[in-house]
Amino acid sequence: MLHRRLLHPALLLLPLALLGAPSLQAREVAAPAEHVDADGPYVFRVGDQLRAKWICGDQVQMRTLPADAEGTDFTPQCGYAHSVHVLPPVAPSVSVLPATPRIVAVSDIHGQYGLLVRLLRANKVIDAQDQWALGKDTLVIAGDVFDRGPQVTEAFWLLYGLQQQAAAAGGAVHFVLGNHETMVLYDDLRYVNPKYLRSAQLLGRSYPQLYAGDSVIGQWLRTRPVLLKIGDTLFLHGGISPEAVQLALDPATTNAAYQASLGTPKAEVKADPATASLYDGKTSPIWYRGYFDGRLDSNGVLAVLDQLHLKRIVVGHTSMPHVSTFHGGRVIAIDSSIKNGENGELLFIENGTLSRGLLDGTRVPLAEGVPGVDG
């Protein structure tokens, strides 16, 4: 890619501390790792068959099975330690749901599968075998499974499996897309863990192509919402800015527009007037940070909520030390910095009462956030 060689000389004068800033465009795609111990499965639909591929000890392993309408089981070779039960292609998920008594929410997993499992087990969302334990309740994941950490594949299979198990139990798992899902799919690989660039090399596809429409998780991602309204609460990754309120008036239409454009090249979605507002780095639902960086005060938040007839908005994307309440409980920030691989928290909404679940399984009130402090 040519633009990487055309760094403006002025960039070299920037203080070194700025080089880690996520907004800086100069961040480069990492070089692939030299060796992948264990990754997979990546499962692809090939005619009426399913082909699963793993990287075990830096070698590709493959298994092909007929696609069964009731589901096809692949036992683990390496990588994800549980069997995966692959269903036929799924339909786009619903965007608006009635209120439900109990919701658990988490976001910004960023490849930290081990930490996610500990957090979900400690709070009895899953059992010791990593199976759904929340019965008829709802789990919402507010985006950003991709990038940074080394266990993205495992995290996606866990969520894919939990969704089936929850549905069978009368509960639900809702995965909401984050900006990192859209970035990987449109080939912006600046945050991809080097491990996955090696996996892609070994599998003979680009990393986005491992999540193409013929891949099971890729197809699943293309049916996930960006906006999910449950009762009077809206869940999404970034936030609804005043500039983008119209996108949230009809969540189903906006979700369909995202789904139709996933995987379209970045330059194209940004240039096309029909999709530019969906991908705007400052104001779009997957990127907005205005509830926290001082751009929008509490009156502004209230105006957005009133236009959308919402009681609250639950968002990830902007990292916090804790699951926190902002603007008098109108905005709940649930990116608890799992990406650092050290700690994480869950949001519980139980009959209108909010609390956070900690890594040791205890439950405490939400932290009080301070707007103006950018995460």
Which of 88, 35, 72 lies closest to 57, judged by CA? Answer: 35
Q: Shortest approach of Zn ion to residue 180 CB, angstroms?
A: 6
Q: Shortest approach of Zn ion to residue 178 CB, angstroms?
A: 5
Is position 345 an interface residue for Zn ion (rule: CB under 5 A)?
A: no
Comparison of 179 and 241: residue with beta carbon closer to Zn ion:
179
Q: Shortest approach of Zn ion to residue 346 CB, angstroms?
A: 18
Give start and end residues of each alpha helix (H) in 235-341: 245-249, 251-261, 266-271, 276-279, 298-308
Comparison of 198 and 237: residue with beta carbon closer to Zn ion:
237
Our CA dihedral for 30, 35, 41, 45, rounded to 10 degrees, sits at: 70
Q: Of the listed pieces 118-126, 139-147, 162-170, 212-220, which binds Zn ion according to CB under 5 A?
A: 139-147
Residues 17-56 contacting Zn ion, CB under 5 A: none
Binding mask 144-173 for Zn ion (x = CB under 5 A): x-----------------------------
Q: Shortest approach of Zn ion to residue 58 CB, angstroms?
A: 31
Q: Of the listed pieces 204-212, 250-258, 261-269, 315-323, which binds Zn ion according to CB under 5 A?
A: 315-323
Q: Shortest approach of Zn ion to residue 319 CB, angstroms?
A: 9
Instruction: Please select the residue that binds Zn ion; options are 107, 151, 179, 336, rule is CB under 5 A.
Output: 179
Comparison of 50 and 221: residue with beta carbon closer to Zn ion:
221
Residues 319-338 contacting Zn ion, CB under 5 A: none
Angle 152-169/113-122 helices, nearest 10 degrees?
30
| Cα 280 to Cα 166, 179, 243, 252, 289, distances in angstroms | 34, 10, 11, 19, 12
Cβ atoms of residues 141 and 159 within 8 Å: yes
Q: Shortest approach of Zn ion to residue 179 CB, angstroms?
A: 4
Q: Of the listed pieces 127-135, 227-235, 240-248, 311-319, which binds Zn ion according to CB under 5 A?
A: 311-319
Q: Shortest approach of Zn ion to residue 23 CB, angstroms?
A: 12
**Helix H or strand E segment including 155:** helix 152-169
Comparison of 51 and 237: residue with beta carbon closer to Zn ion:
237
Binding mask 218-237 for Zn ion (x = CB under 5 A): --------------------
Q: Shortest approach of Zn ion to residue 222 CB, angstroms?
A: 19
Instruction: Please select the residue that binds Zn ion; options are 45, 110, 174, 317, rule is CB under 5 A.
Output: 317
Q: Of the listed pieces 46-54, 98-106, 310-318, 363-371, which binds Zn ion according to CB under 5 A?
A: 310-318
Tokens 């269903």: give the residue.
87
Q: Shortest approach of Zn ion to residue 108 CB, angstroms?
A: 6
**Sheet strand arrangement including 38-46:** 38-46, 49-56, 59-66
Query: Which stretches of the chain are assigned E, i.e. beta strand?
Result: 38-46, 49-56, 59-66, 72-74, 84-86, 96-97, 102-106, 138-141, 172-175, 228-230, 233-236, 312-315, 324-326, 331-333, 346-350, 353-357, 363-364, 367-368
Apex 289 CA angle, 349 and 307, nearest 5: 65
Residues 68-97 contacting Zn ion, CB under 5 A: none
Pairing label, strands 72-74, 84-86: antiparallel
Tokens 């589901």: give the residue.
71
Distance, in Å, from the CA atom of 160 to the CA atom of 144, rounded to the nearest integer, reads 15
Number of residues near Zn ion (by CB under 5 A): 4
Instruction: Please select the residue that binds Zn ion; options are 40, 111, 150, 178, rule is CB under 5 A.
Output: 178
Nearest position to Zn ion, beta carbon? 317
Comparison of 286 and 359: residue with beta carbon closer to Zn ion:
286
| Cα 136 to Cα 166, 280, 363, distances in angstroms | 7, 36, 20
Q: Return left, alpha or beta for 274; rule: phi > 0 is left, psi -120 to 50 is alpha, else beta.
A: alpha
Helix (H, G, I), strand (E, B) or coil at 329: helix
Q: Shortest approach of Zn ion to residue 289 CB, angstroms?
A: 9
Binding residues (CB under 5 A) for Zn ion: these are 144, 178-179, 317
